[in-house]
Amino acid sequence: MAPTQTQSAVTSAQLPAASLKALAPPAPSTTPTPSPTLGKTRPIPMNRVMTSIDYKNMRFVVFDAPTDSNLEAYLEELKLRNVGDIVRVCDPTYCTDLCTEAGIKVSDWSFADGSIPPAHVINGFLSLCNERFPGGLTGAATFQGDPGMNGVKAIGVHCVAGLGRAPILVAISLIEAGMSPLDAVEYVRARRRGAFNTIQLNYLVETYKRSFIKKSNGVSAPKMASFSFGAFKKDRSSSPTGSQVGGREVLDQSASELGQTASMTASVTALPLPGKETSKGFKGWFSKKA
């Protein structure tokens, strides 16, 4: 006689505790899944913290300031983005020893929060760009595919939040590379939302002028952009065509008319910037606007 369903059924009370535990569905895991990229858990989504900005032959990574507690996670992401330099434009918030061990050089060019970079910071940053990127600031090469695969090292730039001081240096580099100021602002903002305050925007669009050149011997230096013969009126030129090319002739003629010596004429290139005191004979003449 076949056993009935009641006879063949086994209640949970008759099973040993070990069997019940084995048959129970697995409890949800409370351990975070490691990142497939970095192989470790990170408390911050790095794709929101770091912004890559590539243009022609230049590569930048803009981010906020790490601390000693999360620096390792930042460095792993920076290495994935092929960053070879970090430019820190705020007060130090971490020790740079780990950066050095990772083969990343840190340059400290701090300036005031919400302000525009001083001349020595701009010149230092542009010199670094000119040295690191193939072809310098005037390089026309563009990346094919993933720029990180081309072996081009990126320059990482950070301030406290990565929204003011760091992006403005990147925008200045884009302007020096040939981009118009408005296009540079839009280009950076499209990738780093919220970049620039009003002071920085006015500086980029209204004040900053392209002034960095690459010398033929490979040494970079700023132009004397604030002193230009092009500012003279055409009717002052001794050139028959009235062109601005005759600025040197105008300068020599004026020096002669004022009774200046030849040595004073030869020292014109060392004149101070507009607005600063000049020699008495030249002060009024140079202050006139075209």
Residue 275: left (phi > 0), alpha (psi -120 to 50), or beta? left
Helices 181-191, 165-176: axis angle to 10 degrees equals 130
Is residue 91 part of the annotated active site? The answer reads no
Taking Cα atoms as reference points, which of 117, 200, 214 lies closest to residue 163?
200
Number of Cβ atoms within 10 Å of the Cβ of 180: 13
The residues near 110 (Cβ < 8 Å, ≥ 6 apart) are 88, 89, 90, 91
Indicate the length of the chain as a whole number. 290
Is residue 90 part of the annotated active site? The answer reads no
What are the tokens at 222?
A: 């700023």
Could you say which of 97, 113, 183, 252 is catalytic? 113
Could you say which of 90, 99, 129, 159 is catalytic? 159
Kindly report the backbone phi and psi dihedral angles of residue 127, in degrees, each rounded to the nearest multiple of 5, phi listed first.
-65, -40
Task: Tell me the catalytic residues.
Answer: 113, 159
